[in-house]
Every structure is written in structure tokens, then in C-alpha cells.
Amino acid sequence: MAHVLEFKLPDLGEGLTEAEIVRWLVQVGDVVAIDQPVVEVETAKAMVEVPCPYGGVVTARFGEEGTELPVGAPLLTVAVGAPASGVTADEGSGNVLVGYGTGAPPARRRRVRPGEPIRSAVPAAPAVRLTTVDTTAVPVAAPECPDGPVPVISPLVRRLARENDLDLRKVHGSGPEGLILRADVEHALRAASAPVQAPRAVTAQPLAAPAAQPAPAGAPSATRIPLRGVRGAVADKLSRSRREIPDATCWVDADATELMRTRAALNTSGGPKISVLALLARICTAALARFPELNSTVDMEAREVVRLDQVHLGFAAQTERGLVVPVVRDAHTRNAESLGAEFARLTEAARTGTLTPGQLTGGTFTLNNYGVFGVDGSTPIINHPEAAMLGVGRIVPKPWVHEGELAVRQVVQLSLTFDHRVCDGGAAGGFLRFVADCVEQPAVLLRTL
């Protein structure tokens, strides 16, 4: 007899606790193979295709496209061992994705739960359920647990309830197995505030109780767009940066004529083409070697500035999904050609939505080329928890005094936003001046090699 196995949303790593269903790749009734991607989800850091560790017939899916699910919530059920699938209940993947694995020997594998690394507080049934093929998914009411654990997984949901003094034991969970979701907490908070607002409306107009209050004349219409996925992650990070980091910005105009000539000469040598961004990145790593305080982070609990030995260089990339910051690992060990190749690889991955969470985290310094948008200057917001960001405007012909005479030169504005806790203006100005000197006279960089 065939059995139905439940596959839960696995831990996708990098501390992520939830993901949004972007696109289902299978339908109910489809036959899936072991390790076949079944759903595309969007986390706060990347788009991820989630493979199913079982082979069989899909009997149920949990969540429509656009639904946000916590780690450990059911994704789908698969009938294993059905004649259509040609597999048995003991068959499973030999691969391991963070959060689940089925590569153990058969005797052990039957005791491993797909979501076992997640310590769920839900007093639910085992993660792998054995039922008959025709079993369908039935919603489960919220369990009564006055003295037991609260059925909620996400620490974000717990924090939201704690900050608003909401007792989670009184909240009805709409998720699988009565799981309490963020929407449940928000609904409970709105309901708790309703009794306070209702009497105020009656007192204001005791002789009339209109069913609905008309909008004020001339009030603009509005569209509400949820802050979630990449957009939500950007909002959280930038808000935290502004809240925690006492930043300051300094800037300078530089004559980039010689830098552009150097790039043109390098690109006529027959090797791979080198971008301006790659040259600026190489200049940045040389500047950070001279001013290491800008390649650091601040540990306020220990009250320490932590200087980092490696330079993992982030660069801002605009995509259809929003702003992302891929990270070039060990940028300090790379030359301009290697940096350019890595920029190209990560930029293509950003545009196709295939960046992994690991490629979007761990940066120590960020380079932001906002000149591609046709603007000259900006005051960047530091990419928390880093200590600085270099912004680069467009390179355009401008009047410039060169060798005592007025000439038309290729000019660029450079701006450095830095955490004032890690250094004072002297170090920040020294860093920016060194970068500008290398832009104006690329030969200066040779002294650092």
C-alpha cells in the first residue's frame, strides 16, 4: 500500500525563519522524482528552488502563490510507493539541504523527520505522516494548550507579540496544525484595539451612526504594497543602519581622465575587458590596506571595534526584484581582472534571481556605483553592520584646471559615508583622498603592489 509523506519547508540557512511562495513548479497529481524542484520561494535574501526529497505522486499543496510560510510548515504531501510513481516509502534523496536530509541508511531513514533540525514548539503529529493515498489535507483547529507550549515557530512572531504585550495562548492559529502566523498576531492586535476606538466614534456623533465614513474631499487614493521579500529585507537593514550607526559623509571631485585612459590601454592588450568598477574596487582594497579601521564592525555589547582581516567587497546591483548587494569574497587577494570577472558572474546571477543567501551576506565594505543612474552625487546609507561605503557618481566631461590651464576633463564625484564610531574625519578623509589620488594618477596604485 502506498503511503503519503509530508514534506515541510526546510531551514534554508543564514538565520532565515520564513519564505514566500513565488511559484509552484508542480500540480496536485503530478509525478515527481527524488530531488526534483517543486516550488520556488523567496526569502529575505534570495530566490530559492526547493527540491523534494521524496519521489511519488503529489497529493496536496499547502499555500497559494504569494503566501508566506514559516520554516517547518508543510509544503506538500507525496504518495510514495504508488504504482504511478514507481517508488517505495524507503526511497529518498541522497542529497542534503539545510534542514532536512534523506541520505541515511534505510533502517535509520524511517526515523528521520524532514524538519527535525527545527525545534518546533508545535505539539503536533510527527513530521512524516503515514496515511492512505486518498487522504486529503484537512485544516486543524488551534489546539487548546493553556499549560503547554504555544504553537508558534517564528521568533519574529514571538517578538511582535512580546513587544505588544499579547498573550499568544489566546491567539487562534490559522496555519497548519494550528500554527500561529504573523497575520494571526496582527489580527489579534487590531481586534484588541477595536473596543477602544468604537465608543469614541459613538460619542462624537450620538444622533447618527453611519455605516461608513466617507473619505475627506480631495483625499488621494492609495495602493498598499507589502514590505516583504527583498524589499522588506532592504527596508529592515537600512532602517537599522540609520537607527544604530552615527554616520557621516565626506566627498571630493576627482579628475578621472587618466583612469579612463589606463582602462582603454588595458583593454587593447587582448585580454579580458576590465570595467571601471573593477579598477575602483582594486583601488578600494589598496585604500583599505592603508586605513583598516574602515574595514571593521562595531560590537556595542562588548564595546569594541572589530577590525577584519579579510576584505569581502559588496557592490550594489539593481535588479527587477530590487536592490541587492552581492559580495566578492577575499577581494583583497584579487587583481582588477579577477575582480571584474567576479562582478560579471555575480551581476548575472543577481539579474536571473539565482544568487544564494551566502553570496548576499558577509560583506565588510561596500562599493556603490550610482553613476549608472545618471547622477553625480549621493550620501549612501551604510550597509549594516559594515563601517563604510564608497559611492561613485557618473564620469562626465567638465571644465577643470589641469596643469594651470582650463581644460575639459573627465570628472567624477566620490563620496564616503563612514561610521564615526570606528574613526574620525582624519582617517576617513585620508582614505577618500588616497582613492581620489589613484583615480587621478593610477600610477600611485603601483606603489601599493
- Which position has the higher pLDDT, 18 or 112? 18
Q: Which of 134, 330, 424, 437 is catalytic?
A: 424
For position 150, which CATH number holds?
Answer: 4.10.320.10
**181 and 255 both lie in a single domain:** no
What pLDDT score was predicted for residue 82? 54
**97 and 173 both lie in a single domain:** no
Q: Are 241 and 382 in contact (CB under 8 A)?
A: yes
Task: Verify whether residue 424 is a known catalytic residue.
Answer: yes
Quick: pLDDT tens for 217-261.
677 888 988 887 777 877 888 899 999 999 999 999 999 999 999
Task: Verify whether residue 420 is a known catalytic residue.
Answer: yes
91, 109, 127 — which closes off a domain?
109
**Which residue(s) pair with 8 in the sheet?**
74
**161 and 89 both lie in a single domain:** no
**237 and 357 both lie in a single domain:** yes
- Which position has the higher pLDDT, 222 or 428? 428
Q: Which of 184, 253, 420, 437 is catalytic?
A: 420
**289 and 369 both lie in a single domain:** yes
Alpha-carbon separation of residue 447 from 244, 259, 283, 428 (angstroms): 37, 16, 12, 20
For position 333, which CATH number holds?
Answer: 3.30.559.10
Quick: pLDDT tens for 56-105.
999 999 988 888 888 889 999 999 875 544 444 445 554 434 334 333 33
Band of the pLDDT at 337, cuts 50, 70, 90? Answer: very high
Band of the pLDDT at 162, cuts 50, 70, 90? Answer: confident
- pLDDT more than 90, % of the chain: 44
What pLDDT score was predicted for residue 68? 85
Question: Does residue 118 sit within a domain?
Answer: no
**377 and 262 both lie in a single domain:** yes
How many domains, the chain? Answer: 3
**164 and 52 both lie in a single domain:** no
- Provide the residue range defining the domain that includes 157: 139-198
109, 126, 153 — which closes off a domain?
109
CA distance 17 to 156: 8
The pLDDT of 118-127, averaged and rounded, is: 36
For position 102, which CATH number holds?
Answer: 2.40.50.100
**187 and 241 both lie in a single domain:** no
Question: Does residue 43 sit within a domain?
Answer: yes
Quick: pLDDT tens for 26-57.
999 999 998 899 998 887 667 778 888 888 99
CA distance 248 to 299: 19
**355 and 298 both lie in a single domain:** yes
What pLDDT score was predicted for residue 236? 86
DSSP 259: H
**388 and 431 both lie in a single domain:** yes
